[in-house]
Amino acid sequence: MASTSASSIQRSFKYDVFLSFRGEDTRKNFVDHLYHALVNKGIITYKDDEKINKGERIGDQLIESIEDSRFYIIVFSRNYASSSWCLDELVKIMECQKMTEHTAYPIFYDVEPTEVRKQSGSVGEAFEQVTKKRKRTLEDVILEKENDVGRWKNALKEAADLAGMELKNTFNGNEAKFMQQIVQDVSLKLHLINLSIDRKLVGMETRVRDIISSLELDIDDVRMIGIKDWRWWEDDFGESYF
C-alpha cells in the first residue's frame, strides 16, 4: 500500500500571507515595504486596496481572504486598536489561528506587547476611542457594543500572547533588517510546509529543517547540497560493508 505524503493532505490556500494593519499608521511606509519584500520573495501576499469601501463591519470578501490565507502578519501600531475594522479583522484572524492550518505572527511596530495585551498606553487610548463610537441609545445596541468590546479585548490579548517580533528589541530598531528577518522566517516556514515528506519516515522533518535553515534562503546566492548515498555491498568473500 502506497504511503501518504504530507503534501497530499495539506489544504491549498489562495494566499501565503494576509497582512493586517492600520493604514494611516503604516500603509505608506513599513507595510508597503514589507509587502513588496514578501512578493519579491515569491510569497503570495494579501494587502487590502486603499479603495476598499470600509464601513463599520468587514465584508464577506475580506473574511474569505482571511480564511484563504495560511499565515497572518498582524502589524500592531499606535492606532491599530482605534479601528473597529481592524479589530473585527483581528477577531476573525484569531478564530482561524485556532485551526492547525493557520498561523498568526504579531509584529509590534511602535507599541509593546503588554500594551496590546492589557490595552494600556497608546493602545489603550486608541481602544477607548473606538469603544466611544458605539451608540448607547437602544438596549440591543448597547448589548451589541458590549459583545464587540469583549471579543476585541480577547483577540488583542490572544494575539499579544503569541510568539512575535518587536521592532525596538530587534536589530536595535533597524527597520530594514527587521523586515528582512520577517520575510526570512515566513519563507522558511513556507518551505517546510511545502516539503513532501513521508510521515512514516520518522525524524526526517527535523533533518530537513536543519538543512533548509543552513541554506540561508533570504540571501540571493547559489547554494549546493551534496547527498552521500550509503549502500550495502558484498565483496568476493561474501562480506558485507556499508
Nearest to 67 by CA among 110, 115, 145, 12: 12
DSSP H or E segment with residue 17: strand 15-20
| Per-residue pLDDT reduced to its tens digit, 128-174 | 988 876 554 444 455 555 688 899 999 999 999 999 999 999 998 89
Could you write out the DSSP letters of every residue in 133-164?
TS--SSHHHHHHHHHHHHHHHHHHHHHHTS--
Q: Phi/psi class of residue 18: alpha, beta or left (left: φ > 0; alpha: ψ in -120 to 50)?
A: beta
Domain boundaries, the chain: 11-189
Query: Are 197 and 204 in contact, with CB atoms under 8 Å apart?
Result: yes
The whole-number pLDDT of residue 236 equals: 53
Please state whether beta strands 103-108 and 69-76 pair in parallel, antiparallel, or not at all (unpaired).
parallel
pTM, two decimals, is 0.73
Residue 223 in grid coordinates: 547554494
Fold assignment, 11-189 = Rossmann fold (3.40.50)
- Please tell me which residue in 89, 112, 115, 158 is annotated as part of the active site: 89
Give the DSSP H or E segment for 19. Answer: strand 15-20
> Is residue 89 flagged as an active site residue?
yes
What's the rounded Cα separation, in Å, for the pair 230 and 74? Answer: 46
At residue 1 the predicted structure's pLDDT band, cuts being 50, 70 and 90, is very low
Please report the pLDDT score of residue 4 as a whole number. 40
What span, in angstroms and rounded, lies between the C-alpha atoms of 80 and 22? 5
